[in-house]
Amino acid sequence: MDHHRDEEQNIIVRKPGTPGQEQVPAVALHGHIDMVCKIAPGFALDFSPQGVKLIVDGHRIRTEGTTLGADNGLGISCILALRDSTDIPHPPLECVMTAIEEMARSVVPVLTRHCCRASG
């Protein structure tokens, strides 16, 4: 797959359309991969040298005293699942994963710099 990571750690991955969908206009999927580090009151953790402690509870994953870190984890998970799929028909995909959601750097410069082919 065609991919690019820029100096700001934004990532674009292109996946061709499945058979019969190759000439359909590309679809852009976007999610952000930055972390929101929140700690529960009374819980001590320094995110710099330590990671979160994962707790696997059946089919659920949670943490002790913190968020999982990525507040767009579901969006990124869906993008990666479709990117890795071999049995879901789709048009050409442009998977855009930006590193900083809340700051002035927006997805538009990323798309412009790397010539997003999706329209609309």
Scanning 53-117, the segments in alpha helix (DSSP H) are 73-84, 107-113
Q: Which of 34, 64, 84, 94 is catalytic?
A: 34
Q: Which of 6, 7, 84, 101 is catalytic?
A: 101
SS3 2: strand
6 tagged catalytic: no
Burial of 120 (0-12, 13-18, 19+ CB in 10 A): exposed
How many other C-beta atoms are found inside a 10 Å radius of the C-beta of residue 61?
11
8 tagged catalytic: no
Residues annotated as catalytic are 34, 101
